[in-house]
Structure 1
Amino acid sequence: MSRLFRDVEGGLSCPQGSVVCIGAFDGLHLGHRALVRHAVARARELGVPSVALGFEPLPREFFASDAPPPRLTLPRQKIEGLRALGVDVIGLLRFNARLAAMSAQDFVRAVLVVRLQAKEVWVGPGFRFGHGREGDLALLRQLGMQFGFSAHAIAPVAVDGERVSSTRIREALAAGDFATATRLLGRPYSIAGRVVRGNQLGRTLGFPTANLRFDGKQPALSGIFATRVHGVGDRPMPAVASFGTRPTVAGTTPLLEAHLFDFDGDLYGRHIDVEFVARLRDEQHFAGLPSLVAQMRVDAAQARERLAPDPGSARPRADLPLQPQRA
């Protein structure tokens, strides 16, 4: 089980040294996975722990709190993904005003040197850090010579002739292009979480749902979707899902509501994973509940049709053979 820390200050986490990779890791796409896998492999070669270092909230969310950018992955799903990649220590640093004001040099001293005793530091293309984004790979290498670590960047990972990025994935999801999102992620896009109680309106309307909150973050997609729900039985279960603010019932925060077909059971507290397969339509406001129910029946029928050819298919493997290079 990976260890997790949240603060810049604290005791020495890796007294024997470490190999550190730094990134936002939103979505854990193919580029992130190449970076993490390479750091893990280097740590194994050197016989020291591997560390994935990120931030929560994301810096862009902190600086644009009034209009935060869309998020692909919530913290728990990100942590679980990093653990699955073999990371020994996860640093999910609280990004606040104090951290935002910290110079690149102070960040390196406090985190990479004092806390982690870094031997190697790996970053992605175009990496910037520190107050005002003053730090880059050249500065990281310069400080590494002073403090005894080496710094490297992996080569970009490209799909369809363009570099893989969270921005490309957000654009694909917003357009309902799940095929492109899957290629960039190395797996189908999904949202995981623990089922919470809602107002149970769906049950009274004949469409009980398993509800996942999005923790107040701005999602990268909204609307009505054909989905598959993992974590309920031995096979993924076909479902129709609504993701958004529920305008007909005056909702205010994003909620993912999945109606599992031909299922009758209690899922409260269960951890599930909702895989998005196809976008059916936008959210819309209905004049009343009868109109809403009529449309829900149409949505359910369309979702069943979209999922019918292969409702229990396995997810594509995410461990594509990527060989990053030192830059």
Structure 2
Amino acid sequence: MFRLVRDRQGAALAPQGSVVCIGAFDGVHCGHRALLNRVRERAARLGAAAVAVSFEPIPREYFARSSPVSRLDDVRGKIRQIAGLGLDMLMLLRFNAGMASMQAGEFVEQVLVQRLAAREVWVGADFRFGHNRQGDVAFLREMGGRHGFATEVFPEFTLGGQAVRSSVIREMLARGDFMGARHLLGRPFKIGGHVVRGRQLGRKLGYPTANIRLGRRTSPVNGILAVRVHGVAEHSMAAVASLGARPTVAGVEPLLEAHLFDFDGDLYGRRIDVEFVAKLRDEEKFDSLESMVEQIGRDAEQARALLAPSNPVFQPDFADDRGRVRSSGASA
């Protein structure tokens, strides 16, 4: 049974010992999954618990609080992805002032030794930890020699010669390369949430929208997009969406607004997932609501055409072996 643990102090969690991997795991992409699968396999061979150790907020998010950091997934998605890989435990530590000031040796002794009875610890080659990032692989191996665990370095994971990193995927999403990002993620990029009431402006303008607040999350995606919405019907529904601050109507908080084609119903309170398929354009400020509505009409028409069954390029699961769209003429 999968177990979620939030505290770094307390009784031993793995009396039989554990095989541990440590990382931010933002997006739980193909490289992360390869590492997590390796840990699960090693744990099964050793008769130990398979454990992932991660942090929320992720460290770079904590240290950049004055400037928003984009994320590939929220904490709920990270937990769901890791749990689905068959690990025994996710230790999701609260990254706060106490964690930021924790010495590297203290982390090893308190978390890896006392709490997890680690037998193997798997990290990336550039792994750094502890106050001022003082701990590295060499330090981890030195501590392992003292406490009886092995330190293993997982090599950088590549697909078709492309290094699979969260930063690379965020860059792909920012420039609208959703098929490339999907290839490295191993799944489509989505943002999910519960539909909330907005100002009802879209309905008044003839384009009612299902609205999702991003809360503290910063998305790597923005602009006007062709999307598919999951969670409304048995199949996904084509839609056109806006993700941003809505400058024409003096929006404040970033909002994801999706207008579902050929749908008229009440979605308030329902959880939906919005899958990004193609970027149509950047956000812009219009001189009037009339000119904005005219452009929305053009956006909706373009999104319909891209997502239509007659257009094979943007149908689900249609990609070449590099995960990119086959027809450059249909690129967003």
- Output the TM-score relative to the length of structure 2: 0.89
Q: Confirm or deny: 8 A CA contact 2:125 2:137 kept in the other structure.
A: no
Distance in 1 of aligned mates of 2:170 and 2:46: 36
Q: Confirm or deny: 8 A CA contact 1:209 1:258 kept in the other structure.
A: yes
State the shift of 1:269 in Å.
2.7
> After superposition, where does 1:117-156 map in structure 2 within 5 Å?
117-156=117-156
Task: Name the SS of the counterpart of 1:218 in structure 2.
Answer: coil
Coordinate RMSD, CA, aligned: 1.8
State the shift of 1:65 in Å.
0.9
Task: Name the SS of the counterpart of 2:53 in structure 1.
Answer: strand
Partner of 2:316: 313
Partner of 2:98: 98
Distance in 1 of aligned mates of 2:43 and 2:192: 29
User: Deviations along 1:167-188, whole A, 9 cap, x unmatched?
Assistant: 1111111111122212221222
Distance in 1 of aligned mates of 2:168 and 2:209: 30
Q: Identity percentage over the alignment?
A: 56
Partner of 2:68: 68
Distance in 1 of aligned mates of 2:23 and 2:2: 17
User: Deviations along 1:27-58, whole A, 9 cap, x unmatched?
Assistant: 11111111111112222222332211111111
User: Deviations along 1:68-97, whole A, 9 cap, x unmatched?
Assistant: 322111111111111111222112211111
Distance in 1 of aligned mates of 2:240 and 2:110: 48
Does 2:162 align with 1:162? yes
Partner of 1:325: none
Residue 38 of structure 1 aligns with an amino acid whose one-letter code is R
Q: Confirm or deny: 8 A CA contact 1:227 1:240 kept in the other structure.
A: yes
Aligned length: 316
Does 2:282 align with 1:282? yes
Closer/same/farther in 2, CA of residues 170 and 138 from structure 1, 3 Å limit: same
Partner of 1:234: 234
State the shift of 1:195 in Å.
2.5
Distance in 2 of aligned mates of 1:161 and 1:169: 14
Distance in 2 of aligned mates of 1:105 and 1:74: 29
Q: Confirm or deny: 8 A CA contact 2:19 2:118 kept in the other structure.
A: yes
Partner of 2:200: 200
| Runs of 4 or more above 4 Å deviation | none
State the shift of 1:125 in Å.
3.1
Does 2:48 align with 1:48? yes
Partner of 2:191: 191
Q: Confirm or deny: 8 A CA contact 1:35 1:124 kept in the other structure.
A: no
Task: Name the SS of the counterpart of 2:242 in structure 1.
Answer: strand
Q: Confirm or deny: 8 A CA contact 1:30 1:184 kept in the other structure.
A: yes
Unaligned runs of 5+ in 2: 320-332
State the shift of 1:312 in Å.
5.9
State the shift of 1:130 in Å.
0.8
State the shift of 1:159 in Å.
2.7
Closer/same/farther in 2, CA of residues 248 and 2 from structure 1, 3 Å limit: farther
Closer/same/farther in 2, CA of residues 34 and 9 from structure 1, 3 Å limit: same
Partner of 1:254: 254
- Output the TM-score relative to the length of structure 1: 0.91
